[in-house]
Chain A
Amino acid sequence: MTALLRADGVSVRHGGRLILDAVDLEVRQGEIVTIVGPNGAGKTTLVRILVGLDRPDAGQVRRTDGLSIGYVPQRFHTESLLPLTVRRLMTLGQRAGDAAVQAALGETGAAHLTEAAVQTLSGGEMQRVLLARALLRQPDILILDEPAQGVDFRGQLDLYDLIAGLRRRHGMGVLMISHDLHVVMAATDRVICLHHHVCCVGHPEAVAQDPAYQRLFGREAAGHVALYSHDHHHVHGPDGTVQPGLVSCGHDHSGHAPGQDDPCSLPSHDAHFPPPPLSPPSGAGSRCAGGHSHD
């Protein structure tokens, strides 16, 4: 299958901190790829580069010719200073007939919101409208930055069902960000676990079992609710060293280098997780890195 979008060795540095370290990634036609990772892992930075908003310091992004991207940004807050109905929002950046607008809204279950003021929408309604708006561009690929943000649990499941349904009907590629693997699992073909670098890649169940993923997410991976910011206070010992065993990715990664003092990488990280296209793992240990091409 053709890669619609691929990143090769994308690196970004912000004031000496390595935000993205040689990230490789590809999204093929008809495939749903989910990037998971804790807050501050560089997920949004990566997406901004993929949609062309920012440039990487190193590496490159390749898109197929004439690739139409349907982008849904992380935050969409419209000030009530600006009067805006859903109908008007739909055609803000693109021209489209009324029938097409109605069809797109209908497809995401937002047809009843057509005349509503954008400021009155709930988080879930807003996401459906933004999805419809992206659909109107007849995208080859949907790129969704935390589509479930500000949506309750039930609504999140509905939203991911909807995205999976859109993929089935239109056959577009989907790339989305999430910080909760369990909610997106059913609707995902491939998970990329990101923490500045790609920790592991694979089928969702495999990634959930992967030691690198479990180290990255700590107790969350075991089904507990863990607050990353809370973990922060427990990660460092009194002398400032990282306490083994308590390690979670909530701690400060300034001066981060792959494989060095990094909870999400195994000792032989580089050997275990070659960049996509997926190849069998070169050593025993993680099941995550290979053998999961689902096609």
Chain B
Amino acid sequence: MTDMAGLLDDFVVRAGLAGLAVAVAAGPLGCFVIWRRMAYFGDALSHSALLGIALGTVLRVPVQATIVATGLIMAAFLTAFARQKRLGSDALLGIFSHAALSFGLIALAFLGAVRIDLHGLLFGDILAVDRIDLLQVWLGCAAVLGVLAAVWRPLLAATVHRDLAQAEGLPVARAELAFMLLMALTIAVAVKIVGVMLITALLIIPAAAARGLSRTPEQMAVLAAGIGVTAVSGGLGASLTWDLPAGPAIVATAALIFSATMVIRKTGKA
């Protein structure tokens, strides 16, 4: 029996399908993270996922929902605090990011380590993805891609020049709000795959690798998705072959691809 249902019995197939979906959604979204200089913002948001998980566990609701909620609350806090001028945004993000991580770890410790696989939360547990997880990941990623496609034009225009986009009547505020929502949703979906510590890597490394090879924003988005897929495939393969931790193997593969594009770019220019 090699029908679809049978294939999904294989944990490697499930892991691969989940990873590919996340990579395809994270690539284009990661481009915006890079263009808008929000890598540390993404870090702070993903660290807040730990609090979301603790909250979901206590309230006995799906953790994905509470991760999205805490992510949005974090985004609102960061946006509000960004208006003050006494601290630079790097310091501000550093504070929020590590505070979210620490409070999240404390909250999880209260819940008891027995019930929660901390290592899996921090670094991902892609090989433990079950059918329900897989369905959630695919639905989540499809939603991310769908909404991103819908707000692409105003979001891109606002990223290039916010005032100009606004003066030209594009729905800038709505697009930026949607972008925050997409970040929170992607984090909720990707926690299972690479863990809260490595989500930002999955967002920015494929996008960064794609930058040197593209001439338009759309090219960069598609390439980033492709590079993400390659990284997931390569990382999973390496993990199975050499018994490496899967999440870090995926990120490491992405980083190697990034280095390769840097070399290609340099030699191409010379």
Point out residues on A near B: beta carbons under 8 Å.
48, 51-53, 69, 71, 73, 76, 78-79, 81-85, 88-89, 92-94, 117, 137
Q: Which residues of B contact A78 (CB under 8 A)?
A: 160-161
- Tell me if B159 counts as interface (CB < 8 A to partner A): yes
Please report whether the interface of chain A is mostly helix, strand, loop or mixed according to DSSP. Answer: loop
Q: Let me know if B220 and A92 touch, CB within 8 A.
A: no
Q: Let me know if A71 and B164 touch, CB within 8 A.
A: yes
Query: Which listed segment binds A: B104-112, B165-173, B192-200, B230-238?
Result: B165-173
List 20 interface pairs A-B (beta carbons < 8 Å), by A numbering.
A48-B163, A52-B167, A53-B163, A53-B166, A69-B167, A71-B164, A73-B164, A76-B164, A78-B161, A79-B35, A81-B34, A82-B159, A83-B214, A83-B216, A92-B157, A92-B160, A93-B154, A93-B165, A93-B168, A117-B215
Interchain CA distance A81-B166 in the complex, whole Å: 22
Size class of the contact patch on chain B: 20 to 34
A76 CB contact (under 8 Å) in B153, B156, B161: B161
Provided the pairs A83-B215, A83-B220 are in contact, do residues A89 and B167 lie with their beta carbons within 8 angstroms? no
Interchain CA distance A64-B37 in the complex, whole Å: 39
Point out residues on B near A: beta carbons under 8 Å.
34-35, 37, 153-154, 156-157, 159-161, 163-168, 170, 211, 214-217, 219-220
B217 CB contact (under 8 Å) in A76, A84, A137: A84
Which single residue of chain A is at the shortest CB-CB distance from B207?
A81
Which single residue of chain B is at the shortest CB-CB distance from A69?
B167
Q: Let me know if B215 and A82 touch, CB within 8 A.
A: no
Q: Let me know if A93 and B170 touch, CB within 8 A.
A: yes
Interchain CA distance A92-B159 in the complex, whole Å: 10
Interchain CA distance A76-B164 in the complex, whole Å: 9
Interchain CA distance A43-B211 in the complex, whole Å: 37
A72 to chain B, nearest CB (A): 8
Q: Let me know if A51 and B211 touch, CB within 8 A.
A: no
Interchain CA distance A88-B156 in the complex, whole Å: 11
Q: Let me know if A83 and B167 touch, CB within 8 A.
A: no
Provided the pairs A88-B217, A93-B153, A117-B215 are in contact, do residues A82 and B168 lie with their beta carbons within 8 angstroms? no
Beyond the given pairs A88-B216, A92-B160, 13 more chain A to chain B contacts, judged by CB atoms under 8 angstroms and listed by A's residue number, are: A51-B167, A71-B168, A78-B161, A79-B35, A79-B37, A83-B211, A83-B214, A83-B216, A85-B215, A85-B216, A92-B165, A117-B215, A137-B168
